[in-house]
Chain A
């Protein structure tokens, strides 16, 4: 008897059926051969199946080419930390995960082994989490991720990009390689770009050139000047904002000379100063060589677009210096009449592009005191001005009894996405907003206000420091009894705040033994 060949023979008979198969049914020693033939097949099948199970021989070991993971060097999380991370991975408070991974890395902790698979599975499709996750994988996690092709990209986010990544990597890997190289060895980075760019498609050219933006140097100007003449609008649009910020560039001067005739500040001996403008008449290819496109749909009207682009690219300080006027006064004049809709958006872009703090402060004051000024959001404002200063400004302009109303108050945009951590004064004001909105009778539709309250509470989940929990809980709980519609959002906010406090505590918790 040979269990293997007998089984294969039996399988052939069974598949084809005894009616058609002429093959013999293997006979097993010591077993009866019942009639009909079908029963013979069944008996043989049952017996051979049993023989195969009972006689299983474990295959001999094959040496693995994978060496074991090195020992961990960082402490893992404690039991509460594991529990908290597990909750985050189950999508409770998804907005908090990225920050938590970041603070784990800062605290020098790593993700415990039992949570490596859930973490890697979760971040696999979320590329924005690759880098924060890769930083807390520990030795075991890196070992594991290297084994699984699905998880290898997570590691790529933390690997220092090398020249191989430049040759064969994805566009974002090439970008990050270039960024690092440009900071360390700018000459080599430029040489590499000069050699490679001509063969690349426009999209890649634009992306790679943009990688220079973090540390622009005077020596970058010639390379950028070359690509301002590119046939691709995408490339030109990527290069121009870089070039105007490059030290020692000549483009700003050319743009300035081109713009100067169209804006005039009239200073009469009597009466108010006046800002007067006129639009360019014609556009030529020379304009394009200076980065001004013929068509730009951000502006209403072709001619307005030419001037608008000029104003966006010129550092706004040039104007204040030229006319010896403060940004606040100049912006104030710009709110006049029909020119506001062109000047304000353009200068807003310009102050962000050139990171001009005095202009940003003046602009914020303007948007807090005037209607229909395209507002800087909290995120934008804090890129240029330090957050504490923006917060102070907002606080000083909040009314005594702030509340949401229809139409939106001028401070709303700023409040709704002002980054944290919020000082207690601001949290108190935000709570007042909620309280007043709920208690002061209003003519506007309730659901509109309710939507903005929910939005505010959701934003507060991320920016109110957990230490202000008691303050928030007291106010919101008593409000909840007044208006049950806000209850849900308020409870979510409070529990997120509480959870963040717990997350914070897990950073100093002693590690668990099973991690």
Chain B
């Protein structure tokens, strides 16, 4: 198993921990190293009298350390994993020490427990889970499936109010929003939150920032307002929509479906899943990570959306190019993409050379149109293109050229990413995975064809 620093970084969310981990990743700091196929361990001298015992369950991977740090993984765990990546030959201990064996066994047991619980929940129905009964927001499923009649009425009142606000906005003209203070958007967003429509509120907050994104902001603002209008109108006629689309609309306006409910109610899709892309973005005191998976058997894409607060690890340890065997439960939708791992979920090594199946430009544009017809509010469409060449235009803009179809796609990424693509390609074809938003392609991961040249090394 080859771990690279980049992959370790995907597990260690806290930059400081990673840096201290790098400092620790030397045999002078870590001793009594050993490993089996599923675990690795070592000891690290800390400020205490006894060295800290550090262990890693490589199947997930998960970390254990006897240090008092509350950050997971702690710097010792990060250091151990990095050292394993760099100098696996140092890990000579053949059998796990008792403290580690205990822990691994407990992990095995607790892994089975939630599966059993999930199975039980399926049998007895969601009413048996106490959390659903306590929380008013996620009450009994009714006609709409998720919300109480009273809450729905309140939300629809809020939506109707937003409609009036939108009319006022269009009446006065978009040009005048340029001079509006932030509170212009924020006040209305706050009202939407009060009316339990946080999804719509976050759309408004995003609209407020559009005018800083480029010269074409009025065009983008108008398009987004139009989509918002369609969403509000659809929500006001919720019961007339097909059941799957109802689910989408409810999630878009801000009904959170709990992960546990998805795991309990949605059918599980079993496959070997490959992480084909990961984008981590920093929001206020919070890391949001979007991980795209591709099923080797089903050929299906899935998006796992996770959040991490204050340097804590993400709920699922997903690393770029990692391969996992397990089940995914997809959130109910007219075009299901978002998913969450459910049941057993086993890390199966890193496969930097495995690529998802690709499609032609014409075929993916068709498929995208079909998907839009099922879910008009689709934001990102995952796709893989084989044999494309990033090309630097005379205007310094980089596009993706498909040489056989003789078509080119505009890119939506910062200059550094574009140069990375050019460096990987050198004018030769690449495989690229990314997201299509209807206008441009956002590259997330790429695979170059391995060089066949010069492999000899002179000493």
Interface set of A (CB-CB < 8 Å, partner B)? 7, 10-11, 14-21, 36, 38-39, 41-50, 52-56, 58-62, 64, 66-69, 71-76, 79-80, 82-83, 86-87, 92, 107-109, 113-114, 116-117, 121, 139-141, 143-144, 147-148, 473, 494-495, 498, 502, 508-511, 513-515
Contact = CB atoms under 8 A, between A and B. Distances in A.
A318 B173 CA distance: 91
A38 B401 contact: no
By secondary structure, the A interface counts as helix
B428 A64 contact: no
B133 interface: no
Nearest to A57: B365
B223 A108 contact: no
A511 B23 contact: no
15 contacts: A16-B175, A17-B172, A18-B173, A20-B173, A39-B163, A60-B408, A61-B406, A75-B455, A75-B457, A83-B86, A86-B5, A113-B423, A147-B392, A148-B419, A495-B23
Interface stretch (B141-149, B225-233, B240-248): B225-233
A248 to B, nearest CB: 45
Contacts of A20: 173
A53 to B, nearest CB: 3
Contacts, number: 205
Interface of B: 2, 4-5, 22-23, 26, 28, 85-86, 163, 166-168, 170-176, 218-219, 222-230, 233, 352-353, 361, 365, 368-369, 372-373, 376, 391-393, 401-403, 405-410, 416, 419-420, 422-424, 426-428, 437-439, 448, 450-451, 453-459
Nearest to B232: A42
B352 A117 contact: no
B222 A72 contact: no
B225 A42 contact: yes
B175 A15 contact: yes
A47 B226 contact: yes
Given A17-B170, A46-B230, A140 B426 contact: yes
B218 A15 contact: yes
A113 B426 CA distance: 9
A38 B448 CA distance: 50
Contacts of B422: 144, 147
Contacts of A47: 226, 230
A43 B222 CA distance: 11
Contacts of B175: 15-17
A494 B28 contact: yes
Given A16-B173, A73-B453, A68 B225 contact: no
A269 B406 CA distance: 101
B391 A64 contact: yes
Nearest to B391: A64
Given A15-B218, A61-B401, A148-B419, A114 B454 contact: no
Nearest to B169: A38
A41 B163 CA distance: 13
Contacts of A494: 28
Nearest to B377: A50
A62 B398 CA distance: 12
B223 to A, nearest CB: 4
B454 A74 contact: yes
